[in-house]
């Protein structure tokens, strides 16, 4: 019986959307990024042929719009600023695929485009993400910003911990502005985030595995 | 004469085990010199994903034996294989391929 629950859990996880961690890896690197919150669940599995590009599958199960998006996503690292004690990044994202309503309605073509910027030191993290989507009947623009602080500085291989606050704006949602306090745990190739969205009273659980 | 031949053969056979015992000593003395150690100062090293990228890309090079990343110092220590070399341009290319910026390289670092 436990394997069934495990399979069901992994299947649910595989239906999970837009990613908060860096969407481009090193040349030859693979990444799995999975996000779950009250609005959607998503999975983005991508491969980076170079240190500035990645391409892969993107699946989003949107609980708000009762639709599933399945398609390809391309990410481009437009610019990186490497400094002695910090790093900044500017990304461009593009996706296209099929949108299927949960009720079995007609499949439509869908697409999205986004920009993301982040800057971090070993103590402070800030990011901003904007995304425009056209999922057939569901279209709009959303924004997300984060501020994070590391309570201690960890070395490579140690457990890294971040306390973060995420503010999101979905103009068409019942709660247009939401605030989510969250904790990020980071060790080796695995990053896990857990939080709680105050307005929606929903939990957030994200993870990224890079290999 | 036959006796002399027998004595020479017996002496040769009796020396063989001694020669075999001596051979390991000979190989120990011929141990190759340790490889060169490079210390690269790199910009942008702020997280474990950064360190992991550097280790994966630099560690794949044929000349490299071991890679250690020090996030606090922003340094990457590269131990080369004995007899192998890696010039600054090649190391810079590897670091860039991983997504980071090489600032300088210190060579002949003491172990």
Partners of A30 on chain B (C-beta within 8 Å) are none
The mean per-residue pLDDT over the stretch B24-50 comes to 77
Q: Please state which architecture CATH assigns to domain A2-210.
A: Beta Barrel (2.40)
Tell which A residues from 79 to 108 touch B, by Cβ distance under 8 Å.
80-87
Query: What pLDDT is attached to residue A14?
Result: 36
> Are the C-beta atoms of A209 and A22 separated by less than 8 Å?
no
**How many Å apart are CA A133 and CA A137, to the nearest integer?**
10
Supply B91's token pair. 């190391």
- Give the separation between CA B85 and CA A1, rounded to whole angstroms: 56
Query: Is residue B85 within 8 Å of B36, Cβ to Cβ?
Result: yes
Q: According to the model, what pLDDT value does residue A104 have?
A: 85
- In this structure, the number of other CB atoms found within 10 A of the CB of residue B62 comes to 7
Mean pLDDT of chain B: 80
Domain boundaries, chain B: 1-31, 37-106
- pLDDT at B11 (0 to 100): 53
Q: Which two tokens stand for residue A186?
A: 């980071």
What does the alpha-carbon distance between residue A200 and residue A180 come to, in Å, rounded to a whole number? Answer: 9
Query: d(Cα B58, Cα B88) in Å, to the nearest integer?
Result: 13
Per-residue pLDDT at A13? 37
For residue A9, the model assigns a pLDDT of 40
The class that CATH gives domain B37-106 is: alpha beta
Mean pLDDT of the B21-49 span? 74
Residue B102 is classified by DSSP as E
Q: How far apart are CA A210 and CA A51, in angstroms?
A: 13
Angstrom distance (rounded) from CA A68 to CA A41: 10
**Residue A30: CB partners within 8 Å, gap ≥ 6?**
A45, A46, A47, A48, A210, A211
CA–CA separation, A77 and A87 (whole Å): 13
User: Tokens in use for A84?
Assistant: 């002695």
Which chain A residues touch B71 with a CB distance below 8 Å? Answer: 122, 155-156
* Share above pLDDT 90 across residues of chain B, in percent, rounded to a whole number: 59
- Tell me the residues of chain B between 25 and 84 that have a Cβ less than 8 Å away from chain A: 42-53, 56-57, 69-72, 74
A157-186 residues touching B, CB cutoff 8 A: 157, 160, 186
Sign for the CA dihedral angle at A96, A98, A102, A105 comes to positive
Cβ of A122 within 8 Å of Cβ of B71? The answer is yes
In chain A the beta strands, taken as DSSP E runs, fall at 29-36, 40-50, 53-62, 67-83, 86-101, 108-120, 124-135, 138-149, 160-169, 177-187, 190-197, 202-210
The torsion defined by the Cα of A192, A196, A201 and A204, in degrees rounded to 10, comes to: -10
* CA dist., res. A136 & res. A119, Å (int): 34
Q: What is the pLDDT of residue A117?
A: 97
CA distance A20 to A43: 12
pLDDT tier at B74, thresholds 50, 70, 90: very high
Nearest to A31 by CA among A13, A57, A52: A57
Which residues of B are less than 8 Å from A50 in CB distance? 97
Q: What tens digit of pLDDT does each residue of A35-90 get?
A: 999 889 999 999 999 999 999 999 999 988 899 999 999 999 999 999 999 999 99
pLDDT in tens, B38-64: 999 999 999 888 899 999 999 999 999
**What is the distance in angstroms between the CA of the first residue and the CA of the last residue of chain A?**
30
Cα separation, A47 vs A29, whole angstroms: 6
**Splitting chain A (211 residues) into consecutive groups of 10 residues, what average pLDDT does each group show?**
45 39 88 92 96 96 91 97 95 96 91 96 96 89 96 92 95 90 93 94 94 90
SS3 (DSSP) at B88: helix
- Tokens of residue B75, six digits: 């340094």
> What's the token pair of residue A103?
């009720």
Residue B25: pLDDT over 80:
no
Contact (CB<8Å) A28/B48? no
CA distance B15 to A206: 72
pLDDT at B8: 53
Q: Cα-Cα-Cα-Cα dihedral of A112, A113, A119, A124, to 10°?
A: -20
């Amino acid at each position: 019986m436990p394997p069934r629950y495990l399979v069901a859990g992994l299947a649910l996880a595989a239906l999970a959307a837009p990613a908060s961690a860096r969407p481009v890896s090193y040349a030859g690197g693979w990444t799995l990024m999975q996000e779950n919150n009250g609005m959607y669940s998503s999975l983005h599995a991508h491969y980076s042929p170079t240190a500035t590009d990645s391409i892969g599958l993107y699946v989003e199960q949107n609980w708000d719009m009762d639709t599933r998006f399945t398609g390809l996503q391309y990410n481009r690292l437009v610019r990186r600023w490497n400094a002695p004690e910090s790093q900044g990044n500017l990304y461009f994202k593009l996706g296209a695929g099929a949108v299927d309503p949960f009720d079995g309605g007609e499949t439509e073509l869908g697409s999205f485009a986004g920009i993301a910027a982040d800057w971090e030191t070993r103590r402070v993290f800030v990011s901003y993400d904007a995304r425009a989507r056209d999922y057939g009947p569901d279209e709009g623009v959303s924004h997300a910003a984060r501020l994070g602080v590391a309570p201690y500085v960890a070395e490579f291989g140690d457990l890294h911990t971040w306390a973060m606050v995420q503010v999101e704006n979905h103009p068409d949602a019942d709660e247009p502005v939401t605030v989510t306090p969250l904790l990020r745990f980071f060790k080796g190739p695995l990053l896990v985030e857990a939080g709680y969205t105050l307005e929606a009273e929903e939990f957030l659980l994200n993870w990224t595995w890079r290999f | 004469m036959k006796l002399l031949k027998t004595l020479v053969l017996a002496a040769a056979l009796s020396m063989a085990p001694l020669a075999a015992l001596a051979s390991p000593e000979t190989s120990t003395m011929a141990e190759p010199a340790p490889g060169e150690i490079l210390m690269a100062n790199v910009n942008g090293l702020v997280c474990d994903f950064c360190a992991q990228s550097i280790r994966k890309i630099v560690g794949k090079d044929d000349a490299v034996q071991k890679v250690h990343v020090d996030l606090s110092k922003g340094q990457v220590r590269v131990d080369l294989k004995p007899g192998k070399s890696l010039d600054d341009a090649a190391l810079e290319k590897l670091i860039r391929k991983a997504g980071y910026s090489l600032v300088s390289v210190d060579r002949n670092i003491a172990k």
